[in-house]
Amino acid sequence: MAERPRGSLPIALGALALASACASLAPAPPGAPERARAARTYSATLGVSLRSPTLRGRATVILAFARPHSLRLEVPGPTGLVCVAVANETALVAVFPGARAAWQGASTAAEMEALLGVRLSPRELMDLLVGMPSPGVRDYRVSWGAALPKRVMATLEDGGRLDAKVQSADLDPTLPDAAFDLPGREGLRQVDAAEARRLLGMR
């Protein structure tokens, strides 16, 4: 009997899972992509899974954005918020209330990767969530609900996979400007990106 090539079973199972997911993708209703992409604001609760060559993690994320460049992410935990991260036109700041810690970087794809493991700029992440592919994505698949994507699957340039399942979402909600103020860091210890990712539970 010919020997099965080593590693072929995991590859085959991965391909089968991807094929199954792609087969069940719901197409966009007429006019929905244009309305979603024209929206100025968005808020959602997401179930996010990330697998990259160096990191992996899974979390519930409460996300909001206001175009063109304001983004807010909250990661809830069993006893309160694990992390609040806000990006504006120039800066990206994350605070970890339970750990009394903070991290700060620039609002760029490289710094988003340093913090979250996803090499996408805040604007590119906004685009993905409303059904627009990004130049930083190798493969992009969307399953649509009535008005918005309900699942987004993206393979990044480094081979990492981002899978976001939308639990609830609102298009063009009224969001207070204060939601996108950078979090205060006074009295918090400054941490590097590796420590920030550990606090987020990424490994």
Tell me, yes or no, if the pTM score tops 0.75: yes
The domain 31-200 is classified under which CATH number: 3.40.50.1970, 2.50.20.10, 3.90.1490.10, 3.40.50.10900? 2.50.20.10
Give the whole-angstrom CA distance, residue 186 versus residue 41. 29
Question: Minimal CA–CA distance to 42: which of 116, 161, 135, 128?
Answer: 128
Give the whole-angstrom CA distance, residue 114 versus residue 105. 9
From first to last of the 203 residues of the chain, give the pLDDT tens digit.
444 344 444 434 444 444 444 547 999 999 999 999 999 999 999 999 999 887 889 999 999 999 999 999 999 999 999 999 999 999 999 999 999 999 999 999 999 999 999 999 999 999 999 999 988 899 999 999 999 999 999 999 989 999 999 999 999 999 999 999 999 999 999 999 999 999 998 87
Specify the DSSP class assigned to residue 126.
H
